[in-house]
Amino acid sequence: MKNIRFSLILLLLVAIFSCAKKDVVFVTIGTGGVSGVYYPTGGAISKMVNNNFKEYGIKATAESTAGSVYNINSVLSGDLDFGIAQSDRQYQAVKGLSEWAEFGPQEKLRSVFSIHPEAITLIVSDKSGIKTIEDLVGARVNLGNPGSGQLQNSRDVLGAFGVSEDMLKSEYVKAVEAPGLVQDELLDAFFYTVGHPNVNIKEATSGRVKVHIVPIEGSPIESLLEALPYYDRAIIPHDYYELSTNTEDVPTIGVKATLVTSADVFDDIVYAFTKEVFENFDEFKTLHPAYGILTKESMLKGLSAPVHPGALKYYKEAGLTEHIKPELIK
């Protein structure tokens, strides 16, 4: 009798344990540096999914990473389930350009949705006397860390004005380090492609060393906008950084943050992520001021990779497919 009771308890424990184990799916989103907007965005998306743990059994977490290029590559290798990546980098990976030129088109990359706009932001110390892109010649400038989205954006902007990297004292450190280096007078300027407002630019503008944001405009930029389809005009509102010595909003160009995944990620996981963000859209929008202008339709623009079937399932249910480029529906 005792033996039977013991066996039954054991069986029950094994059943409970294996059920609990089977039910939890751990999902990781690759983001960017902790002072950017990707990191809180990964947290916001995770929160929406984790709120509904009972239904999906998913525990989502945001991981700080080097940025867009790292995230795309890690999603493709299966090291990350999702990644946040600039729309221009998504385009380049799909077409086999830039960092992917030697590897060709990345066929497994899938898009989920796009998120906030990101502006190419050039911060310079007032002391440096830099007022235009051409003034950067000879200066100590951070172009962006390897693996980041901004590295190629800095190169594109410099190239548009005929400035090459070897005409500068180029640095390649992470964005999180740049404001401190400017304040320590070890750096004159840094580029960061990022959503606004963000704590990095707030930190850079609120120290002892006074700084301003340089406009990225003029006929070279007009030509760039014509040549490269993924760039668009953008504005950095002065209100966000009142301690900068700018007196008005700063015109620049920008891209969009997007959520990407791989064709290998299961449909039900991607479905859960898409559904929770879209069905709780008003709550999602309160999680960061950079999401203020988002609409459900705008989140389906700026994508280049085919839409993942799990996301598409939700867009069909919600009647949103008409807002997606037909060639991305496979």
Q: Which of 118, 156, 171, 276 binds ligand GLU (CB under 6 A)?
A: 118
Element (DSSP H or E) covering residue 22: helix 2-23
By the 8 A CB rule, do 44 and 50 touch? no
**From candidates 73, 74, 86, 205, binder to ligand GLU by CB under 6 A:** 86
Interactions with ligand GLU, residue window 130-189 (CB under 6 A): 148-150
Cβ nearer to ligand GLU, comparing 36 with 306: 36
3-class secondary-structure state, position 198? coil
Q: Which residues are bridge partners to 254 per DSSP?
A: 119, 232
Which lies closer to ligand GLU via its Cβ, residue 121 or residue 128?
121
- Looking at beta carbons only, is 48 or 69 nearer to ligand GLU? 69
* Binding string, residues 200-229; x marks residues near ligand GLU by CB under 6 A: ------------------------------
* Rg of the Cα atoms in the chain: 22
CB of 74 to ligand GLU, least distance (A): 13
Cα–Cα distance measured from residue 227 to residue 34, given in angstroms and rounded to the nearest whole number: 33
Site for ligand GLU contains 37 (CB under 6 A):
yes
Q: Do 231 and 221 form a contact (C-beta atoms < 8 A)?
A: no
CB of 149 to ligand GLU, least distance (A): 2
Residue 38 makes contact with ligand GLU by CB under 6 A: yes
C-alpha–C-alpha distance, residues 326 and 330, integer Å: 8
Tell me the C-alpha to C-alpha distance, in Å, between residue 125 and each of 172, 209, 212: 18, 7, 6
Query: To the nearest whole angstrom, how small is the minimum distance from the Cβ of residue 282 to ligand GLU?
Result: 22
Burial 6-25 (b: 16+ CB within 10 A, else e): eeeeeeeeeeeeeeeeeeee
Q: Report if residue 90 touches ligand GLU, rule: CB under 6 A.
A: no
Contacts with ligand GLU, residue ranges (CB under 6 A) = 32-33, 36-38, 67-68, 86, 118, 148-150, 193-195
